[in-house]
A and B are shown apart, each in its own frame.
Chain A
Amino acid sequence: MELSNFLLMRHEISLLAIILLLIIAEIAIPNNRKSSILHLALLFFGIHTAVGFLPLAESFLFGGMFRSNDMIHFFKGVLNIGVFTLLLQSAEWLEKNMVSQERGTEFFILMFSSLLGMYFMISAGDFLMFFIGMELSTLPVAALAAFEIIKRESGEAGIKFILSAALASGVSLFGITMLYATNGSIYFEDVLTTLTAGNLTILGFLLFFAGLAFKISLVPFHFWTADVYEGAPIGIASYLSVISKGAAAFILMILLFTVLKPLMYIWEPMLYVLAVATMFIGNIFALRQENMKRFLAYSSIAQAGFILLGLMTGTQLGTATVVYFVTIYIFSNLAAFGVVQAISTQTGKENMKDYEGLYRTNPKLSLVMMLALFSLAGIPPVAGFFGKFFLFTAAASEGFYLLVFLAVVNVTISLYYYLLVIRAMFVRKGEAPIPFFENKLYMRLGLLITVLGILALGLYSPLYDYIYQLGAVLN
C-alpha cells in the first residue's frame, strides 16, 4: 500500500492536523493573548473547508474499513460548511464567556474531534469503524453540552446526554454483535451478500437501528432532545440538531440502501410508522413551547420525521431527496439557531415572548429568522419548500399517498408554530422589545452564509441534479 493512498483520508488528516495545531497553540500562546486562538481556529477551519471541496478519488482503505466516494465527499463538504457557519455564529459567545475562563481552545478541540468522528462514521466500510466513529462523534458533545459549567442546566444537559447516548451506543453495539454472529463478518460488503432474514438478524438490526434513531431523535428515542437543547450552549444545541442529526441520517441512509437492503420489507413499514409518530409528536409538542431552544428542538424532531419519507423509498430518488433535504435543513436550522444565538449572546433572552417587537428594533435579524422559519415550514420560494416537495415526491413515487397526506397535515400544523414566532417578531409590538444592537463581523458572516444557502439552494436547480447523479452510487 502506497503512502499516497492515505490521501483518501484527506479530510480526516487535515482536521486532525488542526486539532494538534490547536493543542500546540494552547500551550505556546501566553494566557493574555488566548483570544487569538479563536481567530486562528476559524482561519484553519475555513481553509480546511475550502480545500475540502477539491475532488477526491473514489476508493477504499484498510481492506474496505474506510471508503470514500463522491457522495460521501460531498456530504463531508456540507458538514464542513455547517460547522464553519456554526463556529462563526458562536465566536462572539466564545470570546465573551469562554476565552476569559481559558476554555476557548477546548471548545474547538472537542468540536473538531466530534466532527472527526462523524467523518469516520459516514466513511465507514464496516461496523467496527462505524461504531468507533459514532462514539468519537458522541462523547465530546457530552462535554460540550456541559460546557457552561456555571449553569446548572448545562451540567444537567451534559449528564442527560451522556447517559442516554451511552445506552443507545450500548444497544447499538449489541445489535452489531448479533449481526456479526449471523453473518460471520462485520464488513458491509460481506454482510450484504450473506444477510438473510433470520430472527437473530432482525433482532440485531432493530437494536442497531435504535442507536442511530437516538442520534436522529426519532420518536420514541427523542426524549433527551428538548432537555439537552435547552440546557446546552446554543452552539451545541445547533450542532446536535444540524450536524449530528444530518450525519446520522446520512449514514443511516447509506446503510439502509446498501447493507440492509435485503431487510427492506421490515424497515419500510417500520419507517412508515416511525415517520408518522415522529412528525405528529414533534409537531404537537412544538405547539406550546415558550423557550426558543425547546421550540427548535421539537421542530427538529418533526423535521426528522419528514426525512424518513425519503428514507423509506430505498431508491435513487429517495437518496437524492434525502441528501438535498438534509443540506437545505442544515442551512435553515443554522439560520434559526444563529439568530437565537445572536440575541442570547447580546441580551441573554431566549424566550419567544422576548422576541415581541423585534422587527421594529432589529429588522435584519428578524428577516433572517423569517427566512429560516419559512424554509423550515416549506414555503416557496425559499429552499425548504423544494426540499420538502421533493421528499414528498419520492414518497409518492412509491405510492405512499396516505403518508404524504399525513405529512402535509403536519406541514400545516408546523406552519402554525413557525408563524407564532413570526407573529411575535412582526405583528406584536411588545412591552419591552430587545433594543437595537450591532452584530460582530463573524456573526454577520455566519448569518450571511445561511441566508445565501436558503435563497440559492432551492432556486438553483443544478445542485439537485448534481446530488441526484451522486446518488447513483447507492442504488
Chain B
Amino acid sequence: MDILTLFVVVPVLVILALIFTKDLKQARIVSMIGGLIQLGIAINLLFAYFRERAVNDAVMLFTRDLVWFEQFNIHYAIGVDGISVALILLTSIVVLAGVFISWKMQDLPKEFFIALIVLASGVYGFFISIDLFTMLVFYEIAVIPMYLLIGIWGSGNKEYSAMKLTLMLMGASAVLMVGILGIYFNSDADGGALTFNILEIAQVNIPFEAQKLFFPLTFMGFAVLGALFPFHTWSPDGHASAPTAVSMLHAGVLMKLGGYGIFRVAMFLLPAGALEWSWFFIILSATGVIYGAFAALRQTDLKYINAYASVSHLGMVTFALLMLNKTAWNGAILQSLSHGFMTALFFALIGMIYGRTHTRDITKLGGLLKVIPFISVVYVIAGMALLGLPGFSGFVAEMNIFMGAFQQDSMFYRIATIVSISAIVVTAVYVLRVVGIMLMGPVKNEAYNQLEATTWFEKTGIALLLIPIIGIGVAPLWISNLIMESLQPFIQGVL
C-alpha cells in the first residue's frame, strides 16, 4: 500500500480496534498506539519526501490515482507537496498530544476516541487529496464529528455551541459545494474533459466571468472554517464549550483546513478571481486580525481569550495569502503550523488549569506560578511564542508575513498591513495581562494551594507540542525550504 493511503487506512483500523475495547484503559492505549503509528508514518513521510524531492520535480509527489465515479471523472487522487507534508506532521503531533491530554476521559471514552479519530482521518484525507470531490468528502468527515464531540463531552452552553459550530461550518461547506461545481463545469474551458483534479484544472484557463462568480463562493466555503471575520462567531463559543482535546484538535488542525483550502483550491484554481476579489477579503481579514486581538483583550474566560487570539492569528493567514507574493505565502504556511502548535498547547494548558481549579475565569485565578509551576512556566513560554518573540515559531511566521506584505507598495495594502501589524502590540498586551493576573501575584484562593502536580501523560502532551514550536523558531530554514519549494507552482499559476 502506498504511504499516503496509510493515513486514511490506519485511522480506520484504529476505529475498528476501538469498537472492541471495553473501558477507558483499553481505549486510550489503542488510541495512543494508533497515534504513535500515525506520527511514525508522518515522520517517515517527511524523510521520504525529502529523498523523493531530490530526484523528482513534479508538483505533487507519491501520487496515486484510482477512478471512482467514472461518469463524473471523480477519482480517488492523492499526492503531497511540502505544504501538505508539513501540515500532516502537525496533525499527527496534535492528535497524539490530544490523546494524551484526554487520558482521563470518564464519560463514554470509547466513543470519544472514535469520534476524535474520525475527525483526524478526515483531516489527513483532506490534506492528501488532489481531487476536489474527495477533498470535499474528507472535509465534511472532519467537521461532522465536532457536533458529537462538543455536544456529548463539552461543558457550559454546549448544545448551543455545538449546533452553531456545525451549522456554520456545514453551511460553509455547502456553499463550497456550489463553488466546486462551478469550477468543475468550467474545467473544460480549454477543450479538455470535465475534471475534479486540481492539478489538471490548474492548467486550464477558466473564463474570467466564471472565476469572478465562483471565487468568493469557494473562498467563503473555506474561510468560515478559517474563522474569517465576520464568520468567526462559531469559533469562540465552540472552543469554550469543547472538551480540551477537541479544542486542541479543532484550533490546532481543523481550522488550518480553511487556509489550506483557500490557497490550494480558491487561489490556485481561480487566480483571476483572487486578484479581482482580494481587496474585499483583505479588508475582512485585516479587520479580523485587529478585531480578534481587541476582543481577546476584553475577555476573562481563558478559552475565549485563546479563541479570539485564534481569530486574530488565523486572520493573518488569510491576510498573508491575499498579499500574493512568495514571502507572505511562506509566512502564511509557517503561521498555520506555528499557530497550530501554539494554540493546541494553550488549550492543553487551559484544560489542565481548568481540571485543577474548576474555573477558567482569570479574575478568580492568581499566583498559579507558585502552586503549579510547570504548567505556569509552559504557559509563559507559549505566551511568548504567541506574541512573536524571536526564538519561537511565531516570530518566524509573522516576520515573513509582514515582510511580504510590505512588498506590496500601493496605499491600500500599506494601510491594511499597518492595521494588521498593530495587532501584534495588542497581542502582547493580552498575553501579558493573562500572565500577570493569573500566574503572578498572591494565590487568590486557599484551595489552590493543594493542586495536583503535573502527571506524566500531561507532560508528554506538552513536550510533543513544545518541541516543534522551539524547533521552528530556532531552525526555521529547513521547514522554510520544505515550503518554499512547493510554492513554485503557485507562483507560476497565480502571479
Identify the A interface with B (CB < 8 A): 317, 320, 374, 379-381, 385, 389-390, 392-393, 396-397, 401, 404-405, 408-409, 411-412, 415-416, 419, 422-423, 426-427, 461, 464-465, 468
Q: Which of A396, A408, A416, A465 contacts B174 (CB 8 A)?
A: A408
B178 within 8 A of A: yes
- Contacts A422-B147, A426-B152, A461-B70 given: A389-B167 contact, CB under 8 Å? no
Interface size on B, residues (CB 8 A): 34
List 15 contacting pairs A-B, 8 Å CB cutoff, sorted by A: A374-B144, A380-B136, A381-B137, A385-B140, A392-B177, A411-B174, A412-B170, A415-B170, A419-B147, A422-B147, A423-B151, A423-B163, A427-B148, A461-B68, A465-B70
Q: In the complex the two chains form, is A427's CB within 8 Å of B159's CB?
A: yes
- Contacts A379-B140, A412-B170 given: A390-B72 contact, CB under 8 Å? yes
B399 within 8 A of A: no
Q: Which residues of B contact A411 (CB under 8 A)?
A: 170, 174
The CA-CA distance from A426 to B70 in the complex, in Å, is 38
Query: Which residues of B169-212 have CB atoms within 8 Å of chain A's CB atoms?
Result: 170-171, 174-175, 177-178, 181-182, 184-185
Q: Mostly helix, strand, loop or mixed at chain B's interface?
A: helix
Closest 7 CB pairs of A and B: A408-B174, A427-B151, A412-B171, A396-B181, A380-B137, A461-B69, A380-B140
Chain B 144-173, CB-CB to A under 8 Å as 1, else 0, gives 100110011000001100110011001100
Q: In the complex the two chains form, is A416's CB within 8 Å of B167's CB?
A: yes
Q: In the complex the two chains form, is A404's CB within 8 Å of B140's CB?
A: no
Q: In the complex the two chains form, is A416's CB within 8 Å of B163's CB?
A: yes
B492 within 8 A of A: no
Write the nearest CB–CB distance from A399 to chain B, whole angstroms: 8
Q: In the complex the two chains form, is A427's CB within 8 Å of B144's CB?
A: no
Q: Which residues of B contact A419 (CB under 8 A)?
A: 147, 163, 166-167
Write the nearest CB–CB distance from B427 to chain A, whole angstroms: 34
Q: In the complex the two chains form, is B177's CB within 8 Å of A408's CB?
A: yes
The CA-CA distance from A405 to B144 in the complex, in Å, is 21
Q: Which of A380, A392, A422, A426 contacts B181 (CB 8 A)?
A: A392
Query: Which residues of B95-149 have CB atoms within 8 Å of chain A's CB atoms?
Result: 133, 136-138, 140-141, 144, 147-148
Write the nearest CB–CB distance from B215 to chain A, whole angstroms: 14
The CA-CA distance from A416 to B147 in the complex, in Å, is 11
Q: Which residues of A contact B178 (CB under 8 A)?
A: 392, 396, 401, 404-405, 408
Q: From A459, which residue of chain B is reached at the shortest CB distance?
A: B68
Q: In the complex the two chains form, is A464's CB within 8 Å of B140's CB?
A: no
Q: In the complex the two chains form, is B152's CB within 8 Å of A427's CB?
A: yes
Q: Which residues of A contact B450 (CB under 8 A)?
A: none
B71 within 8 A of A: yes
Q: Which residues of B contact A408 (CB under 8 A)?
A: 174-175, 177-178
Q: Which residues of B contact A427 (CB under 8 A)?
A: 148, 151-152, 158-159, 162
The CA-CA distance from A287 to B420 in the complex, in Å, is 41
Interface centre among B68, B133, B170 (most CB of A within 10 A): B170
Q: Which of B74, B151, B167 contacts A415 (CB 8 A)?
A: B167
Q: A426-B152, A427-B162 are in contact. List 6 more A-B contacts (CB 8 A).
A: A393-B72, A393-B181, A396-B181, A412-B171, A412-B174, A468-B71
- Contacts A411-B174, A412-B174 given: A396-B163 contact, CB under 8 Å? no
The CA-CA distance from A380 to B74 in the complex, in Å, is 15
- Contacts A374-B144, A427-B151 given: A464-B69 contact, CB under 8 Å? yes
Query: Which residues of B237-265 have CB atoms within 8 Å of chain A's CB atoms?
Result: none
Chain B 64-107, CB-CB to A under 8 Å as 1, else 0, gives 00001111101000000000000000000000000000000000
The CA-CA distance from A397 to B48 in the complex, in Å, is 41
Q: In the complex the two chains form, is A396's CB within 8 Å of B182's CB?
A: yes
Q: In the complex the two chains form, is A426's CB within 8 Å of B175's CB?
A: no
Interface centre among A396, A404, A427, A465 (most CB of B within 10 A): A427
Q: From B162, which residue of chain A is reached at the shortest CB distance?
A: A427
- Contacts A380-B141, A381-B141, A412-B170 given: A396-B70 contact, CB under 8 Å? no
Write the nearest CB–CB distance from A305 to chain B, whole angstroms: 15
Q: Which residues of A contact B181 (CB under 8 A)?
A: 392-393, 396, 401, 404
Q: Which residues of A contact B70 (CB under 8 A)?
A: 461, 465
Q: Which residues of B contact A461 (CB under 8 A)?
A: 68-70, 74
Q: Which residues of B contact A396 (CB under 8 A)?
A: 178, 181-182, 184-185
Interface centre among B71, B167, B185 (most CB of A within 10 A): B71
Q: Which residues of A contact B136 (CB under 8 A)?
A: 380, 389
Q: Which residues of B contact A380 (CB under 8 A)?
A: 136-138, 140-141
Q: From A420, which residue of chain B is reached at the shortest CB distance?
A: B163
The CA-CA distance from A409 to B166 in the complex, in Å, is 14
Q: In the complex the two chains form, is B71's CB within 8 Å of A465's CB?
A: yes
Q: Which of B133, B140, B174 contacts A409 (CB 8 A)?
A: B174
Interface centre among A379, A396, A408 (most CB of B within 10 A): A408
The CA-CA distance from A385 to B178 in the complex, in Å, is 14
The CA-CA distance from A419 to B144 in the complex, in Å, is 10
The CA-CA distance from A115 to B181 in the complex, in Å, is 38
Q: From A464, which residue of chain B is reached at the shortest CB distance?
A: B69
The CA-CA distance from A419 to B147 in the complex, in Å, is 9
Q: In the complex the two chains form, is A397's CB within 8 Å of B151's CB?
A: no
Q: Which residues of B contact A392 (CB under 8 A)?
A: 177-178, 181
Q: Which residues of A contact B138 (CB under 8 A)?
A: 380
Write the nearest CB–CB distance from A182 to chain B, whole angstroms: 38
Q: Which residues of B contact A415 (CB under 8 A)?
A: 166-167, 170
Q: Which residues of B contact A468 (CB under 8 A)?
A: 71
Write the nearest CB–CB distance from B161 to chain A, whole angstroms: 11
Write the nearest CB–CB distance from B212 to chain A, whole angstroms: 13
Q: In the complex the two chains form, is A426's CB within 8 Å of B71's CB?
A: no
Q: Which residues of B contact A416 (CB under 8 A)?
A: 163, 167
Write the nearest CB–CB distance from A372 to chain B, whole angstroms: 15
Write the nearest CB–CB distance from A156 to chain B, whole angstroms: 35
Q: In the complex the two chains form, is B167's CB within 8 Å of A320's CB?
A: no
Q: Which residues of A contact B170 (CB under 8 A)?
A: 379, 411-412, 415
Q: Which residues of B contact A381 (CB under 8 A)?
A: 137, 141
Q: Which residues of A contact B151 (CB under 8 A)?
A: 423, 426-427
The CA-CA distance from A165 to B42 in the complex, in Å, is 62
Query: Which residues of B24-72 have CB atoms within 8 Å of chain A's CB atoms?
Result: 68-72
